[in-house]
Amino acid sequence: MSQPPRKILVTAALPYANGHIHIGHLVEYIQTDIWVRFQKLKGNRCVFLCADDTHGTAIMIRARQEGRSEEALIADMREAHIRDFDGFDIEFDNYGSTNSAANRALCGDVWSALRKSGLIVEQDVTQLFDVQEGTFLADRFVKGICPKCGAVDQYGDNCEKCGATYSPGDLKDPVSTLSGTKPELRSAKHLFVRIEDLHGFLEEWTQSGEHLQPEVANYLKGHFLGEPLRDWDVSRPAPYFGFEIPDSPGNFWYVWFDAPIGYMASLREWCERTGEQFDDWWPRSISPSAGEGSASVEIHHFIGKDITYFHTLFWPAMLNAARFQLPARVHIHGFLTVGGEKMSKSKGTFVRGRTYLDHLDPSFLRYYFASKLTAKLDDIDMNLDEFVSKINSDLVGKVVNLASRTAKFVQETGLSDSYPVDGGLFARAAAEGDAIAAAYDGCDYNAAMRSIMALADRANKFIDDLAPWTLRKDPNRAADVRNVCTIALNLFRQLAVYLAPVLPRLAKQAGELLNSPIQSWADAQQPIAGTAVSPFQHMLKRVEPEQVSKMIAASQEAPATAASATTVDGPAALAAEPLVAETISIDEFSKMDLRVARVVAAEDVKESNKLLRLTLSLGGDVNRNVFAGIKGVYQPETLVGRLVIVVANLAPRKMKFGMSEGMVLAAGPGGKDIYILSPDSGAVPGQRVH
């Protein structure tokens, strides 16, 4: 019954600072947050850590395109991430950044341990180099013709058409997607970790059955552990946004080296803030196979299946080599699909967290995901109709309804002075607490939600059978009414405790209603009596399907609008700006390079009262950073995805906020009357306007 409290360190994967949080990310953060809240409610000591993952080529390139520093970019994104997580009640004990002093120091520690173990080796790596941009090109930044089958537009590492794999040097007619220029082969020194030396350890750790789901263990065994492990390339030559390796000037730690160490850095920051000892929470392990004594801390990582091998091979290898305690468990979840399909920008199912919050209550998503999540790494599907009906019938119709149909009968009197005889209902539900707890602890939230809803059904039937609204008509039965409602409200409160990890707001509201705060999992074991009952207030609004469709519409990339109208147009516009009398030649016109472009990012320039910062794609990976004076007329979110016309050869202009590399065409006199030009549907980014 009462085990000693566990000491648990929990991490969720670090979101990359290159994009906003979307509902796919939220599967993980909600899953983890529920687990952490559950552990805390159980009385365990639990620390929940996360951070922004900030390094790497993608960040460097994007910052360059936006004409600002990497630091400015990641600072903005971090702020947005924190705001989004907060909106979903995801409560980290510390939210750090991999670009922090703490992380640099810890990377240094781990690095020198690897050096001392003799695991670091040097090898030359030949890669394509973009001379114009002055940077080596990762495979995804090179396109060319497949050397095997001749398919065009293939990435540097493999061909999507014929499936051939090759090295970027083999690619025919390679083109850098950054600059559009032809890259050249150059070789540079890279540093590798010889993890094959740890093969035996990894075999044992991954296959022990204790740390990983069985599918994952099989995957690793089949894919990696069956043959010698290849050396892991952990450095990148300059220029690279990251930490320079102290004993190898000009080389930087690869982003996947410093990202997981970011977990530790976040812990260090938390320790500094709270006075806790780092070594108590992430000890140096004496034994390389990490003893998990009862007194020691358990480390739990929650990740998506896309980053499995980083967390189950490289990371344990690094920890082992540096003699840090290994994770007790890596919990791996699947991807989110919407309506049975991959999230899609054009279908509007690629929903950002922020967009969701503009339309819907975060509790809904928390509950919905909880009802779908199991311990397996299957993908989970978000069916929007089901989403609406689950929220409305489970949460509103079953759970909250228990309170809303009885609370007002006892508002005057409060709960009965002692808990009445209820035929064992409360006790039976209390007895299920351990099973529900086990489901939470084992990440089988689906099972937990099923059990809880079954309890809600029983409670509703109880009220229905006893019909307090009928009893109420007989003045002699006032005590019975009070007793029935006392039971009903206690059953409601019990459910609120069981749901508290998922729905912290509901738990708080239940506490306020009954004037008895929910603070612990054990609160579900004892009924309360004699407390006052506050006036009932709505706890959750039911979902209207229109809210969901609006959210989807707001997430949809604007399709070309087909407007047709036969109207009579007035002369005012022409009068305001008369036609220009002077003519130009076709040659003069053709000096202007007008292009179709797609808005791939749009954001507010805070310091300016007119400007939005737009990132325009001209196709491929050719992007332009353009400032447009349309703030207040267009919401940045509504621009993303739509096609515009840009003057591509307008001389770049340095502005206070960065470089503006073009101009988006719009009609209208200005002020609020600004109308961006769109090409007809069918146009694609990069096409020239003639």
Partner RNA sequence: GGCAGGGUAGCUCAGUGGUUAGAGCAGCGGCUUCAUAAGCCGCGUGUCGCGGGUUCGACCCCCGCCCCUGCUACCA
**What are the tokens at 288?**
């390389």
Q: Tell the smallest beta-carbon distance from residue 16 to RNA (Å).
A: 5
Instruction: Find the part of the chain contacting RNA (CB under 7 A) among 91-99, 250-258, 354-362, 424-432.
Output: 250-258
Question: Considering only residues 345-364, where is the footprint of RNA by CB under 7 A?
Answer: none
Using CB under 7 A, which of 385, 434, 544, 673 touches RNA? 385
Question: Considering only residues 643-672, where is the footprint of RNA by CB under 7 A?
Answer: none
Using CB under 7 A, which of 86, 139, 244, 358 touches RNA? 139
* Length of the chain (residues): 690
Using CB under 7 A, which of 331, 359, 390, 598 touches RNA? 390
> With 0-12 CB in 10 A as exposed, 13-18 as middle and 19+ as buried, what is 457?
exposed
From residue 427 to residue 446, what is the string marking binding to RNA with x (rule CB under 7 A)?
A: -------------------x
Q: Tell the smallest beta-carbon distance from residue 126 to RNA (Å).
A: 10
Instruction: Find the part of the chain contacting RNA (CB under 7 A) among 60-68, 368-376, 555-563, 674-682.
Output: 368-376
Nearer to RNA, 219 or 367 (CB): 219
Q: Tell the smallest beta-carbon distance from residue 410 to RNA (Å).
A: 11
Using CB under 7 A, which of 342, 354, 477, 550 touches RNA? 342
Q: Tell the smallest beta-carbon distance from residue 614 to RNA (Å).
A: 23
The site that binds RNA (CB under 7 A) totals a number of residues, namely 80
Q: In whole angstroms, what is the distance from residue 378 CA to residue 334 CA?
A: 5
Instruction: Find the part of the chain contacting RNA (CB under 7 A) among 245-253, 389-397, 593-601, 628-636.
Output: 389-397
Given a contact cutoff of 8 angstroms between Cβ atoms, the answer to whether 240 and 60 are in contact is: yes
Q: Tell the smallest beta-carbon distance from residue 89 to RNA (Å).
A: 17
From the list 84, 362, 492, 60, the residue with the least C-alpha distance to 241 is 60
Q: Which residues on neighbouring strands pair with residue 253, listed in sequence order?
A: 235
- Counts of helices then strands in the chain (DSSP H, E): 24, 27
Q: Does the footprint of RNA cover residue 332 (CB under 7 A)?
A: no
Question: Considering only residues 19-48, where is the footprint of RNA by CB under 7 A?
Answer: none
- Sequence-ordered alpha helix ranges (H) in 336-383: 353-359, 362-372
Using CB under 7 A, which of 151, 307, 357, 558 touches RNA? 307
Q: Tell the smallest beta-carbon distance from residue 475 to RNA (Å).
A: 16
Instruction: Find the part of the chain contacting RNA (CB under 7 A) among 68-76, 170-178, 265-273, 391-399.
Output: 391-399
- Sequence-ordered alpha helix ranges (H) in 246-347: 255-274, 278-281, 308-309, 315-321
- Sequence-ordered alpha helix ranges (H) in 406-475: 425-431, 433-441, 445-466, 468-471
Nearer to RNA, 61 or 622 (CB): 61
- Positive or negative: CA dihedral 674, 680, 686, 690: negative
Please report where in the chains the tokens 């089958």 appear, as a residue: 149
Instruction: Find the part of the chain contacting RNA (CB under 7 A) among 99-107, 175-183, 400-408, 670-678.
Output: 400-408
Backbone angles phi, psi at 48, to 5 degrees: -110, 115
Question: Considering only residues 485-504, where is the footprint of RNA by CB under 7 A?
Answer: none
Q: How many CA atoms lie within 13 A of 412 on its CB side?
A: 5
Instruction: Find the part of the chain contacting RNA (CB under 7 A) among 33-41, 248-256, 269-277, 645-653.
Output: 248-256
Q: Does the footprint of RNA cover residue 600 (CB under 7 A)?
A: no
Q: Which helix (H) or strand (E) covers residue 668, if one does? A: strand 666-670
Nearer to RNA, 214 or 246 (CB): 214
Using CB under 7 A, which of 134, 163, 517, 632 touches RNA? 163
Cite the beta strand spans of 131-171 per DSSP E: 135-136, 142-145, 154-155
Alpha-carbon separation of residue 571 from 196, 467, 581, 669 (angstroms): 78, 72, 18, 14
From the list 346, 300, 322, the residue with the least C-alpha distance to 114 is 322
From the list 618, 615, 575, 623, the residue with the least C-alpha distance to 599 is 615
Q: Does the footprint of RNA cover residue 404 (CB under 7 A)?
A: yes
Nearer to RNA, 112 or 393 (CB): 393
Q: Does the footprint of RNA cover residue 83 (CB under 7 A)?
A: no
Q: Does the footprint of RNA cover residue 147 (CB under 7 A)?
A: no
**What are the tokens at 449?**
């939600």
Q: Does the footprint of RNA cover residue 461 (CB under 7 A)?
A: yes
Given a contact cutoff of 8 angstroms between Cβ atoms, the answer to whether 445 and 34 are in contact is: yes
Question: Considering only residues 538-557, where is the footprint of RNA by CB under 7 A?
Answer: 538-542
Nearer to RNA, 236 or 624 (CB): 236
Q: Tell the smallest beta-carbon distance from residue 400 to RNA (Å).
A: 4
Q: Which helix (H) or strand (E) covers residue 59, if one does? A: helix 57-66
Q: Does the footprint of RNA cover residue 406 (CB under 7 A)?
A: yes
Using CB under 7 A, which of 469, 584, 610, 681 touches RNA? 469
Given a contact cutoff of 8 angstroms between Cβ atoms, the answer to whether 333 and 212 are in contact is: no
Nearer to RNA, 46 or 229 (CB): 229
Given a contact cutoff of 8 angstroms between Cβ atoms, the answer to whether 300 and 9 are in contact is: yes
Q: In whole angstroms, what is the distance from residue 674 CA to residue 281 CA?
A: 57
Using CB under 7 A, which of 45, 305, 329, 505 touches RNA? 305
End-to-end Cα spacing for the chain: 77
Q: Does the footprint of RNA cover residue 610 (CB under 7 A)?
A: no
Q: In whole angstroms, what is the distance from residue 68 CA to residue 280 CA?
A: 40
Given a contact cutoff of 8 angstroms between Cβ atoms, the answer to whether 22 and 351 are in contact is: yes
Using CB under 7 A, which of 121, 131, 467, 584 touches RNA? 467
Contacts of 180 (CB under 8 A, 6+ apart): 620, 622
From residue 201 to residue 240, what is the string marking binding to RNA with x (rule CB under 7 A)?
A: -------------xx--xx--xxx--xxxx-xx-------
Q: Tell the smallest beta-carbon distance from residue 277 to RNA (Å).
A: 32
Q: Does the footprint of RNA cover residue 172 (CB under 7 A)?
A: no
Q: Tell the smallest beta-carbon distance from residue 690 to RNA (Å).
A: 37
